[in-house]
Structure 1
């Protein structure tokens, strides 16, 4: 970070401005954002999910004290904002929080940030070209990240082997999963569109509906009742579904860190909800998959889940090993919602039966027409039609 010269020229009309919303923790800031606000955060390596949440909130610009792309790995958050045309300036340093005031007017013009009449900072602009260049550089250094990931996976398996390998510690819900399809909705990229696209599958197959965090809210807003809601004890209020949605579910499963006390569920008890506890360091999304697999689901359809290499590496560091090993465990049951849309054609419908019946009738008449009896019927029908034609013609002559 450096101070920009006070008299530095900027193109007229090239910037944006808005009231500052200041919070180091991006997730905590999301619930306070209004369209047109300038988000002032301190976020190292912005992931896609958080960037999409900022975009959905309607931010005018995003300012960060820390690098939103540090080069450790090709994270995708800045790409989301840059592609949407949102001005993004990072590496503004601690001076950003020393000068920024909640609700004060902030203007962003290129790499120049004006926080007050006498406070002008300069940082790094993350436009589409810069993001692409940084992403390419980050891919070169992936070897170190993959080595670290291998170590983390070993540690995660050591801690969670009883849960992953034997299902020990998985609660038994009232909802029956065995031999039934299960749809797990996670608030990830394009999850609302994917949920709409598999409505036919849900309507016809009547699967168990599992909502993860705000994914349960999306199910209810789509007119569907979540059977099971899986949430995390350390989630903020902005990440949890509403108490009303929790109460509509047959089961609420609370993922808590190992060694947590029963007090972890007190917040839900105040809402009139008694959750089942699942002790694990896995992510909430992975806890939902482990639950469905342990209950012998016939197939698990993931909505909002994606497994490309870039998206996998874009996850929070603590969740990499969890996601990798969980997918190895449930891989024989798990399919992506996009695959269901492509492969599932639905049950036989009345129009299908009508088409088959008509085709059979035509084939039967053609077969009869080749027999002597069929030819006699055809000749008799021809004579009758000829007589009827002569009768009609005589009426008009």
Structure 2
């Protein structure tokens, strides 16, 4: 590509830059599946959310080039701050033409300028801690507008889906039995890895049903468990997870269209298509609630207004209302970690083992058999010590009495 796309005001050049092969994808979550350390990530992601930013940082690219604005001003999204704090070079507002860069093309990024083979391809705005902080301050002023729109959308959803809120979604034809059990719903969202690690004792003691929402199924497997059910439109879950033996519930639209159905059919995996409004995590929680789960523990799900806005779609009103419906059963994973403690702590187990050994020692010492065992043990120990002393040329030690 020889033409300069366009030069942004505020683009700067530095004496030293970063370079690496381009990895290009308009969908950040798809890009992170093949992004490697040392690559240059090229994305088209307005208002980079926290989850996407953390996924990018985990891949350790040398730079992130964004065709769009990383913060549009709609709300204070945390993504740019996470990327910049990780020391990754972030360039914004490069224009949509940058998405036509070839995957693997070697790029050199100097300040806000992107070059290949000495040719200037695009120029954008470099983000640093100061510019990110200023953008966040300005974006907070836009929260009131977003809150009003969110409230209006919520009321509209209540009018359209009041049967769901009052009567439930109806029981889908599934084999998994939730009645009287805990359900752990895992979404690949905020700090899901840390939450699953915190819940290890809880999972061991209570053995909840493990429900993965799309990529959440892979998160369950990565943590060393097997999902009981996978719910979603199947756009971010791996083939191996779909073949893991978990029950598959394909989230469909109200009109019956199910974009994920083709994929599971191609894999030959048995599944159930379930039409419902809202997000897949909403559907997972409503299924667990409708089928009698005693408690629903959420990992990586959305709880705050900023998290809802991070999803960037009006349908998040359903997430808010779903939590109102299942609220009496729903608890966030971090709440479990604070309220729940394993029934027997590690120091109690150690103390119990020590007390048992002491009791055994006293009991043996009080019997002729025990005294004989101790005598033989002492002789064996003397032989072992003398063997090693002989290896280094020392005289044998006195026998143990």
TM range (shorter): 0.7 to 0.9
Aligned residues: 347
The alpha carbon displacement at 1:345 in A equals 1.6
| Aligned pairs (5 A) from 1:363-382 | none
The alpha carbon displacement at 1:301 in A equals 0.9
Structure 1, residues 347-391: CA drift from partner, whole Å, max 9, x if none?
A: 357948x88xx9xxxxxxxxxxxxxxxxxxxxxxxxxxxxxxxxx
What is the distance in 2 between the residues matched to 1:307 and 1:155?
Answer: 20
The alpha carbon displacement at 1:2 in A equals 4.2
Question: Normalising to structure 1: TM-score of the pair?
Answer: 0.80
Equivalence for 1:241? 238
| DSSP-derived class of the 1:178 partner | coil
Q: Which residue of 253, 256, 273 corresponds with 2:269? A: 273
Equivalence for 1:365? none
Equivalence for 1:213? 214
Structure 1, residues 31-59: CA drift from partner, whole Å, max 9, x if none?
A: 33222211222221111112222222332
Equivalence for 1:230? 231
The alpha carbon displacement at 1:9 in A equals 8.2
| DSSP-derived class of the 2:26 partner | coil
1:311 partnered with 2:307:
yes
What is the distance in 1 between the residues matched to 2:321 and 2:201?
Answer: 31
Equivalence for 2:392? none
Q: Which residue of 320, 323, 326 corresponds with 1:327? A: 323
Change in Cα spacing, 1:245 to 1:344, as seen in structure 2 (3 Å) is same
The alpha carbon displacement at 1:177 in A equals 0.9
What is the distance in 2 between the residues matched to 1:37 and 1:232?
Answer: 29
Change in Cα spacing, 1:25 to 1:224, as seen in structure 2 (3 Å) is closer
What is the distance in 1 between the residues matched to 2:67 and 2:339?
Answer: 46
Equivalence for 2:187? 186
Runs of 4+ off more than 6 Å: none
Q: Which residue of 41, 44, 47 corresponds with 1:45? A: 47
The alpha carbon displacement at 1:96 in A equals 2.4
Structure 1, residues 275-310: CA drift from partner, whole Å, max 9, x if none?
A: 122212311112111111111211111111252343
The alpha carbon displacement at 1:83 in A equals 1.5
The alpha carbon displacement at 1:128 in A equals 2.1
| Aligned pairs (5 A) from 1:42-121 | 42-97=44-99, 100-121=101-122
CA contact (8 A) 1:74 1:314 kept: no
Equivalence for 1:372? none
Name whichever of 178-187 and 152-161 sits farther off.
152-161
Q: Which residue of 229, 251, 254 corresponds with 2:250? A: 254
Change in Cα spacing, 1:9 to 1:147, as seen in structure 2 (3 Å) is closer
CA RMSD of aligned residues (A): 2.7
What is the distance in 1 between the residues matched to 2:44 and 2:25?
Answer: 8
| DSSP-derived class of the 2:155 partner | helix
Equivalence for 1:390? none
Change in Cα spacing, 1:65 to 1:311, as seen in structure 2 (3 Å) is same
Equivalence for 1:156? 157
What is the distance in 1 between the residues matched to 2:78 and 2:259?
Answer: 36
Change in Cα spacing, 1:95 to 1:172, as seen in structure 2 (3 Å) is closer
CA contact (8 A) 1:4 1:112 kept: no
Change in Cα spacing, 1:213 to 1:3, as seen in structure 2 (3 Å) is same
Change in Cα spacing, 1:50 to 1:341, as seen in structure 2 (3 Å) is same
CA contact (8 A) 1:169 1:279 kept: no
Name whichever of 55-64 and 164-173 sits farther off.
164-173
Change in Cα spacing, 1:122 to 1:296, as seen in structure 2 (3 Å) is same
